[in-house]
Amino acid sequence: MIVIFRNIDEQDIDSMTKWLNKQGVSMQIFDNDGTIIGKLYGNIKAIDSRFLYEWKSVINVISTECNHALAGNSKGKRTVTVGNVTFGQEFVMIAGPCTIEQEQDLLTVARAVADSGAKVLRGGAYKPRTSPYSYQGLGSEGLAMLERAGKECGLMTVSEIPDAQLLSQFDHIDILQVGARNMQNYYLLKQLGKCNKPILLKRGLSSTVDEWLYSAEYIMSEGNCNVILCDRGIRMGDRCVVDIAQLYNSLEMTCLPIIVDPSHACGNSNLVLPLSRAVASLAIDGLMIEVNADCQKTLCDGVQSLSITQYQQLVTQVDTIRRVI
């Protein structure tokens, strides 16, 4: 059970805690930018939630008996606004290189995708790679390049944060991405729930939709409800697959905007365009596409990256499909 308080009212919280303790329930309090959340643990069944409204600073009591109290769809769709972009209200294109390697190439891509209507520039600075010998990214220097390119082209920015200790380095990045490998890093999710930036939460490589929504729940139950889900397919043999029927289901199950990342799902640039067309026909909220100035030269995910020309082609085709739908 989750209790949302209007403000920190020490007296109310103290007396409620004492009352709850008597019923065998404990309460943990979180303060997120003035939103005060109490998480209840223990013998919850002993509590009649209606009674908690007796405390005057209580605004809302949410049952967690339904699996996803905050990320579920019981209260209709949520939107997530980042600068001039509103996920859940418009179809958002996120594009850019897998990894930031070189400022000039990043700018070339940023200008091209902005001209084609993208609203968000992606680029990895910290890259959790399968092999420790693979390129690991430029770190803070890469983030600074991303910030400059975003500013110059009027694009919002998104980059993966692998560790909450790096949060201060992401001050000027607009959206924090949780990578597929970190979807179940609950400590990281809790820390991100305490910050006030929108989170792009990728689905884990082998996670069920249920687990994915619980991860969103970890962020939201700390007070940060600005979560955007990103389906990047799940592992099937040597490839990843976006299950389109299940994607439709996911859209029905959550209040959060869902975008799809066909680049990592396909692992091959030939397949990115057809998969994008297929998922664009569902009510998804956007696409995230890897685009590179020079796919041959790049150090990371070149095989699945689109050239600028291929990206422009994709945008035209996706737009056509969305108009039809």
Strands of 164-265 (E only): list them: 175-178, 199-202, 227-231, 234-236, 239-241, 258-260
Distance, in Å, from the CA atom of 146 to the CA atom of 185, rounded to the nearest integer, reads 25
Q: Is 122 helix (H, G, I), strand (E, B) or coil?
A: strand
Q: Shortest approach of Mn ion to residue 94 CB, angstroms?
A: 12
Q: Is 101 helix (H, G, I), strand (E, B) or coil?
A: coil
Residues 259-288 as x/- pattern, contact with Mn ion by CB under 5 A: ------------------------------
Which pair of structure tokens corresponds to residue 265?
């799902």
Residues with Cβ within 8 Å of residue 174, at least 6 apart in sequence: 82, 83, 120, 150, 156, 157, 158, 197, 198
145 half-sphere exposure, CB direction, 13 A CA radius: 25
Please pick, from the candidates 301, 311, 314, 315, the single residue that binds Mn ion as defined by CB under 5 A: 301
Q: Is 111 helix (H, G, I), strand (E, B) or coil?
A: helix
Q: Shortest approach of Mn ion to residue 78 CB, angstroms?
A: 27
Between 68 and 122, CB nearer to Mn ion: 122
Q: Which stretch binds Mn ion (CB under 5 A): 21-29, 210-218, 240-248, 294-302?
A: 294-302
Q: Which stretch binds Mn ion (CB under 5 A): 46-54, 96-104, 113-121, 199-207?
A: 96-104
Q: Which stretch binds Mn ion (CB under 5 A): 97-105, 167-175, 225-233, 248-256?
A: 97-105
Between 98 and 266, CB nearer to Mn ion: 98
Single out the residue of 179, 173, 142, 167 nearest to residue 155, CA to CA: 173
Q: Is 191 helix (H, G, I), strand (E, B) or coil?
A: helix
Q: Shortest approach of Mn ion to residue 119 CB, angstroms?
A: 20
Residues in the chain: 325
Q: Shortest approach of Mn ion to residue 18 CB, angstroms?
A: 51
Q: Tell me whether residue 106 is exposed, middle or buried, using C-beta atoms within 10 angstroms of its C-beta: 0 to 12, 13 to 18, 19 or more.
A: buried
CA distances (Å), origin 225, targets 149, 231, 256 = 28, 18, 9
Q: Shortest approach of Mn ion to residue 158 CB, angstroms?
A: 13
Nearest residue to Mn ion, by Cβ distance, number only: 98
Q: Which stretch binds Mn ion (CB under 5 A): 11-19, 166-174, 250-258, 295-303?
A: 295-303
Look-up: residue for tokens 């640039």? 269
Between 119 and 202, CB nearer to Mn ion: 202
Q: Shortest approach of Mn ion to residue 99 CB, angstroms?
A: 7
Distance, in Å, from the CA atom of 9 to the CA atom of 296, rounded to the nearest integer, reads 59
Between 123 and 223, CB nearer to Mn ion: 123
Q: Shortest approach of Mn ion to residue 254 CB, angstroms?
A: 24
Q: Which stretch binds Mn ion (CB under 5 A): 36-44, 81-89, 98-106, 253-261?
A: 98-106
Single out the residue of 147, 182, 146 nearest to residue 161, CA to CA: 182
Q: Shortest approach of Mn ion to residue 307 CB, angstroms?
A: 15
Count the site residues for Mn ion by CB under 5 A: 2
Q: Shortest approach of Mn ion to residue 124 CB, angstroms?
A: 7
Please pick, from the candidates 52, 98, 121, 213, the single residue that binds Mn ion as defined by CB under 5 A: 98
Between 195 and 308, CB nearer to Mn ion: 308
Between 58 and 295, CB nearer to Mn ion: 295
**Residue 187 and residue 165 in contact, taking contact as beta carbons nearer than 8 Å:** no
Which residues here bind Mn ion, judged by CB under 5 A?
98, 301
